[in-house]
Copies of this chain bind each other. A is one copy, B any other.
Amino acid sequence: MEATTAGVGPARLTGLATWLLGQTAAHAGRLVSEGFAAVGARGYHFRLLATLDEFGPASQSVLARRSGIHPTEIVGILDYLASRKFVERTPDSADRRRNIITLTDAGRHHLDALDAQINKVQEDLLAPLNPADRAELRRLLGVLLDHHNKSVGTA
């Protein structure tokens, strides 16, 4: 049996973990984009809103670290989310460099819609895998991420 070929293409390529990962992620990304586009949103919105929902209000730089989104991206995403009244940006009185970002009720509501959407996408993506395989995939990807997060120092 050996390494699966995943359709067609040069074996030199299709046997590579990096290629399989890239192709699968591209596909997943397509599904995610479509799913979010259906509710007029993007991946970044979900990531930021989910971060706010689970960790509570925070400054933009803390948000960047928690969400894994690059600090320079945060500004624009927040501009948009604030314009839609999904978050509130208020200056931090304790440290005037900072803004404190808070999730609004509308934002929480929107997040629920995105949540429903993204869960549909998981099903789509993982359709051909049974529960054990899904868990195993998550485990393996988790190990890789943990390892590389540590060595690179994303913490």
Which residues does A use to contact B, with CB under 8 Å? Answer: 3-13, 15-18, 20-29, 31-32, 43, 46-47, 50-51, 53-55, 66-68, 115, 118, 121-122, 125-129, 133-150, 154-155
Query: Across the interface, do A23 and B68 meet the contact criterion of CB distance under 8 Å?
Result: yes
How many copies the complex holds: the figure is 2
Of B7, B13, B25, the residue contacting A21 (CB under 8 A) is B25
Chain B contacts for A145, CB-based, 8 A: 6-7, 20, 23-24, 27
Q: How many angstroms between the C-alpha atoms of A133 and B4 in the bound complex? A: 14
A interface, by DSSP: helix, strand, loop or mixed?
Answer: helix
Distance, CA A142 to CA B5, complexed state (A) = 7
Decide: A18 and B121 in contact? CB cutoff 8 A: yes
A129 to B141 CA separation, bound complex (whole angstroms): 10
Contact A144 B115 (CB under 8 A): no
- The answer for the CA separation of A15 and B68 in the assembled complex, in Å, is 14
| 9 closest cross-chain pairs (CB), A and B | A4-B142, A25-B25, A20-B141, A6-B145, A128-B147, A10-B54, A6-B142, A7-B149, A10-B50
